[in-house]
Amino acid sequence: MSHPIAPKADAAALELRTQGLSKQWGAFKANSDVSLTFAPGSRHALIGPNGAGKTTFINLLTGALTPTSGQVFLGRENITALAQHQRVKRGMTRTFQINTLFAGLTVLESVA
């Protein structure tokens, strides 16, 4: 079943890529020159200590924050300047962690 607002696109058009992505507040650099490519359908994890810039990176990808420098591409389109709602129309969104168990479910069922 397809999402009603997500456009249909070939697999290559869904590649997510960053090029030299950075976010800085004064002298503090949360992300510095991050260049990554995420293939369609792939899964990745961001691992690091508190304050390492994981949430900042996700916020840069999804448009919640504007990068100090660098670019974000979805397929061949530079989406760096697009607002969050414009990225959603292209099929990009995020979810937030729910760190409570659901009543009546086991731990494994809650995270599956």
- The Cα 15–Cα 39 span in angstroms is 5
Q: Mean pLDDT over residues 37-64, rounded? A: 93
Judged against a pLDDT cut of 50, whether residue 1 lies above it is answered with no
Q: How confident is the model at residue 9 (pLDDT cuts 50, 70, 90)?
A: low
Residue 107 lies in a domain: no
Q: Minimal CA–CA distance to 96: which of 72, 64, 73, 70? A: 64
The alpha carbon torsion through 81, 87, 90, 91 (nearest 10 deg) reads 150
Which CATH number do you get for residue 29? 3.40.50.300
Report pTM. 0.77
- The Cα 54–Cα 76 span in angstroms is 25
Domain count, the chain: 1
Residue 75 lies in a domain: yes
Looking at every residue in the chain, the average pLDDT score rounds to 87
Residues spanned by the domain of 21: 11-101
- The Cα 67–Cα 34 span in angstroms is 11
Residue 91 lies in a domain: yes
More confident residue, 3 or 28: 28
Q: Which residues of 8-26 are buried (b: 16+ CB within 10 A; e: fewer)?
A: eeeeeebebbbbebbbeee
Residue 50 lies in a domain: yes
Residue 1 lies in a domain: no
Residue 112 lies in a domain: no
Among 3-12, 13-22, 53-62, which stretch is predicted with the lowest mean pLDDT? 3-12
Residue 109 lies in a domain: no
Residue 111 lies in a domain: no
